[in-house]
Structure 1
Amino acid sequence: MMGGKVALAFEVEATVDRGEASRAVFDRIRDFLEANRLGPDPVNYAFGYRVVSDPAGPLARAVAALTDGGVRLTKRDILALGGDVSNAPIEPPAAAASGEGLVAQTQMQVEGFQDLVRAMRNETADFGRDLAATADAMRVSTGIDSVSEVLRMTGAMLNRVQNAESQLEVATREASDLRAKLEEARDNARRDPLTGLPNRRALEEAYADHVAKGSPICVAVCDIDHFKLVNDGFGHAVGDRVLKAIGDVLAEQCGEHLVARYGGEEFVVLFAGIPLAAGQDMLESARQLVAKKRYRLRESDEPLGEVTFSAGLTAASSGEDVGDVFVRADGLLYAAKADGRNCLKIG
């Protein structure tokens, strides 16, 4: 009877342990869903379980890379990373198969392959050492003549192991090269190909990162004045060179602060950790420098005429959404345009 009570006690204790472990998993999944603002539907829950149940696995690492800087996962990201979202409202599959999703999915596959290769190399290395040790022991204890055939077979097997290790080494290097290219692709996805500046996505990620750190933020929206006249009068190739020249001046004058090409002839500057007046001084220096320059066509030395830009600058409130700050800065930009252009409005 006593034995039955002990067994029952162990069973109850095991049940309690399993219950606590389950609750811990539930808590981690809940935290994951809340951090990414995902609803607790079966699809999101299943994906969250795959991430938290193997925090060092390739899926968790891919998610960490994709959400670096405070970016939240979307249904599109979950689809790209192998989640089944057939019953959830999402963007068209064609959108999910592009850019970031493919990079993240391929990165996950590469990291999984590297884990597999690493495990295989360890196993073959252990096997080879065991074979070599066995062969040496046989030579010492028995003599080469009596075990020559076994030793021959052992030597052949060792050669095969060494060849396998060489092939795995090559595969590992190729996987590392591919991973480096994927990292480069991720960087390119956040960079404007014409100016080389960060793009809108990079700006939004950097803004979210500064918000998370509690840094004071100012945002400026800059727009080249009468840019359509440049394109119409000299062609888009010249217009592209003007865009790059203005972007270079802004980047130089704004130092370590992020300057992004937002679209068209519009640039956005993200000032972090400085007061509004300091950002104003940097922008004003850039504006004056651009206005003083006399741009000419490199082919004919023909002058382009005056090239200037207008800007609006505003400080973000604590935790304010980047879209709201942009709208306010954009309104100040339009006020600068209405006030004669080639000027900066603060608000």
Structure 2
Amino acid sequence: MVDWRKGQHGTSVLAFLNHHRLAHTPEHYAFAHEYLNGADGELRERVDGAVDGGVRLTEDQVQKLMPVGTAHPIAPQLDHLTLRVLDVVGDAMSMSTDLNRELVMASATLLEAPTSEVGRMISAMMQRAEQAEASFAEAGQRARAIRTELAALQTSGQRDPLTGLMNAAGLQTMLAADTAREPACLSLVDIDRLRAVNESHSPAVGDRLLTVVARTLAEQCSGHLLARWEGGTFAILMEGTDLKTAADIVSDACAAIGAREMKVRENDQPLGRIMLSAGVVAMRSRSAGELLEAAQTQLHRAKQHGRDQVAVEGIVIGVSATD
């Protein structure tokens, strides 16, 4: 029996699937990956027993043999993309090998062929080269598509579906990576009395308000990272910015939102002035947890001062939409 586990992970999985004539699907790749590289000894024994004597696995056998819940929800997608990369590389290598072989054979034949055959052979070689060129172009397109999918997958769990902004998990990952350029500041900005909007009108109106606030904050804080932290709270990471400048940016953004006259789309009823409270802190080499806790403390301080405030470490700034 062939020992598939001797090779590299990706190529072994590819060879395993091809040998058993299994389709290149995420489920099959996850199954083969678990069998070849996982720690489930019982699965290996059952699969080895099923293929003993060179028997090929069937689709039904794979479904029965695969343990429930063994794969990470993201892993099959990554593994499938890895497999597709291997397919592209394998196809390119196969095309290159076939073309080289044909060119060597044609060159040898040319040395012995009558003059009348030379033109036809050269034409055939040129046609084969054009086909290979087109195949390589197609392989390049497939590789670019895979790269796009990988980029999308990398950030798929770090986006807020309502606003399209980075979510709390993405922000925490970024802060934990400690790559921010200091001086840097973090602000947490919260929509005051968002619950009252939801109760007086509807959650749908509240959601539209969130998207308007997100869009306005993005415009006002252009060049800085904006994320949705939770509920009606947004986070702004301002790199290369001192505390005073960060406080001015946040205050201006809150004032710009407060200056807008918003109405309910369905009945043209005014929402009234939308007020925001915010806390602003400097990074100062703090850990991600310490930085977020400090920003939350300042936001809570702004709320305690009557809302519609920007609390900065050491001071509190009133927000005015009529300056």
State the TM bucket, normalised to the shorter chain: 0.5 to 0.7
Q: Closer, same or farther in 2 for the Cα pair 1:158/1:289, shift >3 Å?
A: closer
Other-structure match for 2:162 = 194
Q: Closer, same or farther in 2 for the Cα pair 1:233/1:128, shift >3 Å?
A: farther
**Equivalent residues of 2:99, 2:132 under 8 A apart:** no
Other-structure match for 1:32 = none
**Equivalent residues of 2:92, 2:139 under 8 A apart:** no
Matches within 5 A, 1:288-303: 288-303=255-270
Structure with higher helix content: 1
Which segment is superposed worse, 267-276 or 112-121? 112-121
* One-letter amino acid of the structure 2 residue matched with residue 321 of structure 1: S
Other-structure match for 1:98 = 73
TM-score w.r.t. the length of structure 1 is: 0.63
Are 1:336 and 2:279 counterparts?
Answer: no
**Equivalent residues of 1:124, 1:165 under 8 A apart:** no
Other-structure match for 1:68 = none
What count of residue pairs does the alignment treat as equivalent?
257
**Equivalent residues of 2:277, 2:303 under 8 A apart:** yes
Give unmatched runs, 5+ long, in structure 2: 1-7, 12-32, 42-67, 314-323
* One-letter amino acid of the structure 1 residue matched with residue 165 of structure 2: L
Q: Closer, same or farther in 2 for the Cα pair 1:163/1:240, shift >3 Å?
A: same
SS in 1 for 2:170: helix
**Equivalent residues of 1:313, 1:346 under 8 A apart:** yes
TM-score w.r.t. the length of structure 2 is: 0.67
**For the residues of structure 1 that align with 2:39 and 2:306, how far apart are their CA atoms?**
52
**Equivalent residues of 1:207, 1:270 under 8 A apart:** no
Q: Report the aligned-residue RMSD.
A: 3.6
2:101 to 127, 135, 139: 127
Other-structure match for 2:311 = 345
Alpha-carbon offset, residue 292 of structure 1? 1.6
Alpha-carbon offset, residue 310 of structure 1? 0.8
Matches within 5 A, 1:1-347: 84=38, 97-99=72-74, 101-140=75-114, 170=138, 173-209=141-177, 211-212=178-179, 215-318=182-285, 320-347=286-313
Give unmatched runs, 5+ long, in structure 1: 1-49, 58-78, 88-92
Q: Closer, same or farther in 2 for the Cα pair 1:162/1:135, shift >3 Å?
A: farther
**For the residues of structure 2 that align with 1:198 and 1:306, how far apart are their CA atoms?**
27
Alpha-carbon offset, residue 332 of structure 1? 1.2
**Equivalent residues of 2:181, 2:239 under 8 A apart:** no
Q: Closer, same or farther in 2 for the Cα pair 1:258/1:102, shift >3 Å?
A: farther
CA deviation vs aligned residue, 1:67-122 (integer Å, no higher than 9, x gap):
xxxxxxxxxxxx99x964669xxxxx9696334x4443333333333322222222
**Equivalent residues of 1:222, 1:333 under 8 A apart:** yes
CA deviation vs aligned residue, 1:12-52 (integer Å, no higher than 9, x gap):
xxxxxxxxxxxxxxxxxxxxxxxxxxxxxxxxxxxxxx89x
Other-structure match for 2:316 = none
**For the residues of structure 2 that align with 1:85 and 1:332, how far apart are their CA atoms?**
48
* One-letter amino acid of the structure 2 residue matched with residue 331 of structure 1: T
**For the residues of structure 1 that align with 2:229 and 2:37, how far apart are their CA atoms?**
31
**For the residues of structure 2 that align with 1:282 and 1:119, how far apart are their CA atoms?**
55
* One-letter amino acid of the structure 2 residue matched with residue 298 of structure 1: R
Alpha-carbon offset, residue 253 of structure 1? 1.5
**Equivalent residues of 2:281, 2:294 under 8 A apart:** yes
SS in 2 for 1:345: strand
Q: Closer, same or farther in 2 for the Cα pair 1:228/1:102, shift >3 Å?
A: farther
Q: Closer, same or farther in 2 for the Cα pair 1:334/1:96, shift >3 Å?
A: farther
* One-letter amino acid of the structure 2 residue matched with residue 323 of structure 1: G
**For the residues of structure 2 that align with 1:95 and 1:338, how far apart are their CA atoms?**
49
Q: Closer, same or farther in 2 for the Cα pair 1:226/1:96, shift >3 Å?
A: farther
**Equivalent residues of 1:132, 1:158 under 8 A apart:** no
Other-structure match for 1:11 = none
CA deviation vs aligned residue, 1:112-162 (integer Å, no higher than 9, x gap):
333222222221221222233223222248x75xx9xxx99x999998898
Alpha-carbon offset, residue 166 of structure 1? 5.7
**For the residues of structure 2 that align with 1:94 and 1:230, how far apart are their CA atoms?**
42
